[in-house]
Chains A and B, each alone.
Chain A
Amino acid sequence: MNVWLQALLWMLFVVTIMMVSGASIIYMLRKVLAAAHLRIGPNTLGPAGILQLVPDVIKLLTKEDRHPNFSDKGLYCLAPIIIFVPMLTAFAFIPFGPTMVAANVNMGVMMILAFLTLVPLGVFAAGWASHNKYALIGAVRSVGAAITFEIPLLLSVLPPIMLAGSMNLSEIVLAQANGFWFVIPALPSAVIFLICAQMETNQAPFDMTEAESELVAGFSTEYSAMRFGFIFLAEFAGNFVMAALAVTLFFGGWTLPGIDPHSMGIFAPMVLIIKSYIIIFLFMMVRGNFSRYRVDKMAALGWKRLIPFTLIWVLVFAIGLRAVQTLFGAGA
């Protein structure tokens, strides 16, 4: 097949997955939070309100696209794209099946995390360009949160890499299919990864960048119409990326224990998606029920608890892994 056509098809695949997962997560968020809050949620359009998103999108598309006075117009227009594109790109590296991965690169883990690291840049640009103090405070908070939580996030993905001996996500998945889920030996890493993922996706209790009771809407205060739609969609897409990454690294990816990974066929993506949605459900329940951290307490949590703990844990894990490999042979 023509290499360009192949690239185009993969791109369409990634965009479709992102749109569909974004839309379904928005619907799921509404329903899950509604159930957690004793509310009903969308229930009018379509069966169980499933078509609610259609008028939402129409509304976002038809609203006036307004620039705040004195805003930095170029940066203001660019910022949603800086937020949206890295999220979209990160989807390309997630393996949905034995061969269903858009970009099967050897540095898959690092690539995803590197692209996700670009998102706070876009958030900061949005807040800075908006000419709004609330937006600026949210932007500054997002940078603070990013440098606080990306270090433990990066450190917490090291144990699965050590166990699999590879940074290629497909190989990490296959290593789990042949052995055991990496959550079993690396449970603390999985917990820290989920905490950092909650922060990375700006969800309560770490949603200081938006913090609607303090900062109105944080960095996106001044955004309207489809620019806001892009920010909104990127947020939910990021939700899916982090959940899928957690599943891939710690919960066996698209495989199921006891089933030959090469006979999964069409069920492989479904397994990954269902597992991801279970993680997303966990995120949503935390989001719906807990108070927000204060920004300095969150920094203290990151710098004083998570970073020292992950450093020591990675050290202990590496020494333990080496000891086990030496004692019981390299196959363990």
Chain B
Amino acid sequence: MGIGKKPSEALLTPVVPCEDEASLQEDMLEGYTNPGWLSPQPPAGIVVPRNTRRIADDPLQLSTDHYLLNVGPQHPSTHGALRVILEMDGERIMSGEAHVGQLHRGIEKLAEHRRYHQLATLVDRADYVSGITVETAAALATEQLAEIEVPPRAQWLRCLMAEVNRIASHYMWIGPMGLDSGAMGIFLYMQKDRELFIDVLEEMTGQRLMFNYVRPGRVTGDLTPRAEKLLRDYLKIGIERMEEHWDSLFESELFQIRTKGIGVLSADDALNYGATGHVLRASGIDFDVRRDRPYDAYDQFDFDVMTRTGGDVFDRVTCRFDEIRQSLRIIEQCLDGMPPGDIKAKMPKVLRVPEGEACGIVESARGEVGIHLYSDGSDKPVRMRYRPPTLYSLGIAEILLPNMMFADAIVGMGSFDFCFGEVDR
């Protein structure tokens, strides 16, 4: 059966021995506690790489033979092409290691062969659930390089569509969170709401998933009356719908049992592991790119940044759920105060930007996306770096896995909202 065998060589990765490094680290890291570290001596019998993962505690010495469980990439609950190798003791996880790359398409390399206005098409394929926000990042970086002034109406339209897309993405995630915990109904209820936002996006951009909407200096479509009507109609019933979703999922005691106190991430760990977005805010750190580094027209909106203090799965989910309410507020302000004017800046057909570097950071639905562009003065970037927020969440998931029950691991990994188009690029 393969059960009871020793862990395979896959997990037996030794630390690279190097005396210089060891002495160097000892000197400079004396008295320095890194919350993500393991104890220097892992317990006998458990082989995990040092200092990336914690090992499950076993104070009663009740552990039995360990076995390896390969979860994914075709597992129903890994939300994409994630493969996790878990070392299990019965139902408990001793250690876990994520294997990614099944969806690697070399987007960063392909970007070096695309013109600047074509980058949006590429990054859409990276984060395929909230494309508008990452397109905005690419456009912002290009605009910084080329020093383009974006007309105010285009900026407001970007914010509007980004929020619409954010809500669609959040619904796409909170529903499957219910599915991960076993509640199927809420998934379809949220899909129904998401459908409306996707309809709006389709009305405005012509696409339902890969939008190609935000380009350097402009957006491709103006606000149509039908899109405005759809949004206004939802704003009337939106809060009521949200209450309904809240009651049916978060008020359910079974869901609370499954999520409260599971996968607790402390604020120190969240900072140390580079968490952004809802993972950071659920751990109690108040940072949102939209408020603290305002881009486009976000400095003109009135919205709150939602934080929680627990850092567990329930907090991560509810934190985002409240973000949907804030997004609805922003959408309402957008519709009310949309400035008139052009949606295009004056731009040459082929954009050649001066030599230099620029970085556009935005708050995507999953966290902070940064597009870093190197330019050599030609019409194509020399290097595009896409900062994937969920790649960093993956590192967090690896340290949270030990000591979890298998069922919790599914919910815990789901709570980071991995998008493997973006992790693998």
User: Taking beta carbons and an 8 Å cutoff, which residues of A are in contact with B?
Assistant: 33, 36-39, 131, 133-134, 136-137, 140, 204-205, 207-208, 211-214, 216, 288-297
Contacts and interface: CB of A to CB of B under 8 A. Distances in A.
Interface string B184-225: 110011001000000000000000000000000000000000
26 contacts: A37-B184, A37-B189, A38-B192, A39-B188, A204-B184, A205-B182, A205-B254, A207-B182, A212-B76, A213-B76, A213-B410, A214-B77, A214-B407, A214-B410, A289-B185, A289-B248, A290-B182, A290-B252, A291-B255, A292-B183, A292-B254, A292-B407, A294-B405, A295-B405, A296-B405, A297-B257
Given A140-B90, A291-B255, 6 more contacts: A211-B407, A213-B181, A213-B410, A214-B77, A289-B184, A293-B257
A121 B67 CA distance: 24
Contacts, number: 84
Minimum-distance CB pairs A-B, first 10: A292-B182, A291-B254, A291-B181, A37-B188, A213-B77, A291-B183, A291-B255, A291-B182, A289-B185, A294-B407
A138 B400 CA distance: 24
B252 to A, nearest CB: 6
A211 B258 CA distance: 14
B182 A216 contact: no
Contacts of A39: 188
B11 to A, nearest CB: 16
B75 interface: yes
B168 to A, nearest CB: 17
B424 interface: no
Contacts of A296: 91, 405
B29 interface: no
B186 to A, nearest CB: 8
Contacts of B408: 294
A300 to B, nearest CB: 10
Contacts of A131: 1
B76 A292 contact: no
Interface in B70-91: 75-77, 90-91
A289 B406 CA distance: 22
Interface of B: 1-3, 67, 69, 75-77, 90-91, 178-185, 188-189, 192, 248, 252, 254-255, 257-258, 405-408, 410
Contacts of B3: 133, 136
B407 A295 contact: yes
B415 to A, nearest CB: 13
A216 B70 CA distance: 12
Contact of A295 (B77, B91, B248): B91
- With most chain A CB atoms within 10 A of its CB, the pick from B3, B91, B189 is B91
B74 to A, nearest CB: 9
A246 to B, nearest CB: 22
Nearest to B410: A214
Given A133-B67, A205-B254, A291-B254, A216 B75 contact: yes
A291 B177 CA distance: 10
Contacts of B252: 290-291
A132 B189 CA distance: 34
B407 A291 contact: no
A292 B185 contact: no
A332 B407 CA distance: 49
Contacts of B67: 133
Given A294-B257, A294-B258, A294-B405, A38 B188 contact: yes
A302 to B, nearest CB: 15
Contacts of B407: 208, 211, 214, 292, 294-295
Nearest to A215: B406
A213 B257 contact: no
Contacts of A212: 76
B111 to A, nearest CB: 35
A35 B423 CA distance: 37
Nearest to A70: B1
Contacts of B69: 133-134
A204 B254 CA distance: 11
Contacts of A36: 185
Contacts of B192: 38
Contacts of A207: 182
Given A205-B182, A292-B407, A216 B76 contact: yes
Contacts of B257: 291, 293-294, 297
A110 B278 CA distance: 54
Contacts of A205: 182, 254
A186 B230 CA distance: 53
B258 A291 contact: yes
Contact of B185 (A37, A133, A213, A295): A37
Contacts of A291: 178, 181-183, 252, 254-255, 257-258
A35 to B, nearest CB: 11
Nearest to A204: B182
Nearest to B181: A291
A141 to B, nearest CB: 8
A130 to B, nearest CB: 10
A258 to B, nearest CB: 38
Nearest to A217: B76
Contacts of B258: 291-294
Nearest to A292: B182
A210 B182 CA distance: 11
Contacts of B183: 204, 289-292
Contacts of A133: 1-3, 67, 69
A157 to B, nearest CB: 26
A213 B2 contact: no
Given A292-B254, A295-B91, A136 B188 contact: no
B313 to A, nearest CB: 12
Contact of B189 (A33, A38, A211): A38
A68 B414 CA distance: 30
Given A213-B76, A213-B179, A213-B180, A293 B254 contact: yes
A158 to B, nearest CB: 28
A322 B68 CA distance: 57
- With most chain A CB atoms within 10 A of its CB, the pick from B75, B178, B179, B184 is B184
A133 B4 CA distance: 11
Nearest to B180: A213
Contacts of B182: 204-205, 207, 211, 213, 290-292
A289 B179 CA distance: 10
